[in-house]
Structure formats: C-alpha cells, structure tokens
Structure 1
Amino acid sequence: MNNIAAVIFDLDQTLLDKHQSLIGFANHQYVAYALEAYRIDKGEYVRKFTEMNYVVRPKGEVYRDIIDFFAIDSSLLPVMLEDLNQNFSKYAIGYPGLIEMLIGLKKAAFKLGMITNGRAFYQRDKIRALGIEGYFDDIVISEAVGLRKPDPAIFQLSLSNLNVSAAEAVFVGDNIKKDMIPAKELGMRTIWKQRADPNEYTDFACDDLSEIPNLVYSFVQTKTG
C-alpha cells in the first residue's frame, strides 16, 4: 500500500480562526466609521457582522444587509466594503500552534497543500498575513481555478499539483460536506477539525492543531505496519 506523502488543509476555520478574525475586524470598522453616531451598540454590531459574514455569499450583499439592518448611511457601503477587501487580512488570526504544526510536518518531509474556497486575492492576503505561505508546496484557491469544494475535481487538482495519489494524502478540514466527504470518497485519509466524535467520513476528529502531526504519523504507521 502507498505511504502518506502529503497533508492538504482547508483554510478558514481550519488554520485561520475566522470567528476571532471577524470580531477583530468588526471592532475596527465600528471605530473607524464612527458607528456609535448611529446609536448602534458596539457589541450588537460585532455580533451581527460576524453572523452575517459566516454565510457564503458576495460581500457586497452582506454589506448591503448590514447597512440596511443598522440604518447606516448608504454612502458608507462602498467605503466599508473596500476597507474589508484591503484590510481584513490585517486582522487574520491563526489557531494556536499553527506555525509549530507546519514546521513539524515540513521537518518530517511531508508535502503540504491547501484547498480553499473564496476570492483569490482575498484568500491569498489572509494566507500571507498568517505568515504561512512559504510552508506550502501548493495552494489551490477556488476563484483562481474555476472550481469549488466540494467538487472532487478541485481535490484531484491539488493531488496532481503535489504529485501524490489520494491514498498518499491526508486532508484536514472543518466542514463535513465540503471537506470530509469529497476527500474520503476520493480515497484520502481525513482529519476533521472539530471537537466531535469521528464519523464514517472522518478517520479522526480534533480541534487542536498541535495534535495534527501525531495523527498524521499514525496513518504512516498504519500504512507501513
């Protein structure tokens, strides 16, 4: 049987703490655009902003809903949207142990890949802000390749770019439908980044990045043992 040669990651909510990043950016915009002048409670704005940005849809639509919900001057919509596009990455926060985990996997000679849905410049800016771009042998961003998870083709593209088979790869992601199911159905090993019990599509489940290398090593031992 093939040995494990590559570990492929999702980005948002797997390596990047999207929730904390959104909170930080929402606080920034509340202050930067003096939203207290609209009698908006800061905590409510941060909560609603974070909630609305969890939904995957065009950011222009998200901001239109935020403007309408809080009755903010509509002239701020393009300004706040541009601020998001240009500056959100400054508030990007990685999960604890991120860099150490990647260093450990690289030292063990695993190839590292990433597959992420999103706008190319936006995802790339977040990756660079986290300081992790240089650790990856290949990064596939949906907009750049015209494919989106859970389409198996985007996983196959990553495997091809890394020159490994599905049986030689481990996929780490937070979403069952978009990450775990397609990866498992292609024949990859899977680690679900959640505090949950494993299921038929996940070999392991954990929400601590520092545990990832040992879980990957366990696949190697299984393959070679």
Structure 2
Amino acid sequence: MLIIFDLDDTLIETSKCLTPYYLKLAFDSMRKAGLEIEEDVFDELVSMNQNALTSRFALKKFWSKYSDQIKIYDAGLAVMKTPLPEDLPLEIVPGAIEVLEGLQEAHTLALVTLGNPHLQGEKMKKAGIQPELFSKLVIGKGPSKKLDYQTILTELKFDAQEVIVCGDRVPIDLTPAKELGLFTVHFRHGRGLCHNEPKADVDLSIDALKQLHEVFAQHEI
C-alpha cells in the first residue's frame, strides 16, 4: 500500500506555530510599505486567517479591504517566504513520527506539499521529520496536487486502489486524490477543522494520526 501524506497541519503544527509569526511579519511589512492602519488592526488579519484556506488567501483578502496598491500586498507576501528563525519553535503533530515509522515497516510512504521548496525543507528539518522516511517527496507549485499524485503513482508503480491520501484540507489535499480514484482520509486538524468540504471527497475521517493504524486494522482498502 502507498500512503501519501500532506505536510502542513498534517505532520507539523504550521497553523499553531508558524502562521502567527508570518502573519505579523506580513502585517508589519505592509505598514512599512505604506498601508495606513493601526497596530490593533492585526487582530482582524488573524481572524480572517482562521477561516481562510491558506494564510496567503487571508493576507490578500485583508490587503484588498484596506488598499488597492499591489506593492503593499507584494511587500507582505515577500516576507512570508523568508527563512525560519532558529529560535522559532515548530511542533510536530502528536504521534506523527511514531505513525510514519510504524507504517513505513509495511507500506510505502510519500509526501506531497505545496509552497516554497527551501521553506518546506526547513520546516521538515526543524520538526525532525527525516526525508528518508518517504520513497517520494514532492514540493509542488499548485494550485492542485492532482498532477503530483499522478506522477507518484506512475513513478512508484502503484494502481489507484492501492493508494491512501491523508491530509487536513479537503479541497487541496483530498479532492484531487478522489478525482484519481484514490482512498482519502481527512485529518480533522489545523485548517482541516474548517475546510472539510466536499464531504463526498472524504472516505474516512480521523481526529488523531494514530487512528491511521485503525484504518488498516478495520478496513480492507
């Protein structure tokens, strides 16, 4: 069996540990670039982010409310790609390492994430996730993961019925997988607490990664 994981909010606590830091960087950068708002308006950006599909979507929505100058948005977006500070803590999702190591003993693992390749690599290193756990690691450009999934199936020579995809955001992680006929597991965590639609693209839902073991124990997939 091939199991494809997402990274952010599936294996690492991105929304909890990293997003607040980068949102504040972006907010301050836009103010320096000429966005005329008060410091306490940052709370509004944080609120928008809670229900946004990505932090970049939240930033763009916030920017469009207060400005029409693209240079201001660009200033905020640019700092969201900056390297992780050494002293910024990044927690791993509870049980992630144990689950990965346990599943690797009997199955093939892959990882598909979207974003800046250097930054995504930094996240994995800081969280202690070894790339060697995965037979294939893809850092895609998006917006869809469908082509990335298809590439992995082809390269690793798996049929659709032999593949499970686990991620937190249904429209980004699971909908493209379901279009390929893959079995989907929705991890209700991080942004996945809000972005859990469409339900038709979810075969199973879990609230903790350790429940993946139950998926194999209770279901013939």
Pairwise same-fold verdict (TM > 0.5): yes
Percent of paired sites with the same residue: 24
Deviations 1:164-217 (A, max 9, x none): 121111000112222222212212111001167993322210121111122134
Does 2:215 match 1:212? no
Counting matched residue pairs gives: 197
Give me the TM-score of the superposition, normalised by structure 1. Answer: 0.68
Q: How does 1:11-30 map to 2 (within 5 A)?
A: 11-22=7-18, 25=21
Letter of the aligned partner of 1:129 in structure 2? K
Deviations 1:129-154 (A, max 9, x none): 222123111111113xxx5424x222
Amino acid at match of 2:169: N
Answer whether contact 2:171 2:198 (CA < 8 A) is retained.
no
Match of 1:138 in 2: 136
Distance 1:179 1:24, change over 3 A: closer
Cα distance in 1 between the residues matched to 2:140 and 2:17: 21
2:187 is equivalent to residue 193 of structure 1: yes
Amino acid at match of 1:174: D
Matching of residue 121 in structure 1 with residue 121 in structure 2? no
Alpha carbons 2:104, 2:133 under 8 Å: kept: yes
Unaligned runs of 5+ in 1: none
Contact 2:185 2:203 in 1 (8 A): yes
Counterpart Cα distance in 2 of 1:84 and 1:171: 27
Residues 50 and 13 of structure 1: is their aligned pair in 2 closer, same or farther, counting only changes over 3 Å?
Answer: farther
Query: Are the structure 2 counterparts of residues 40 and 206 from structure 1 closer, same or farther at C-alpha, using a change threshold of 3 Å?
Result: same
Unaligned runs of 5+ in 2: 30-36
Does the CA-based 8 Å contact 2:23-2:80 persist in structure 1?
Answer: no
Which residue in the other structure is 1:172 paired with?
Answer: 166
What's the TM-score once normalised by structure 2's chain length?
A: 0.69
CA contact (8 A) 2:185 2:205 kept: yes
Structure 1 Cα separation of the partners of residues 197 and 172 of structure 2: 18
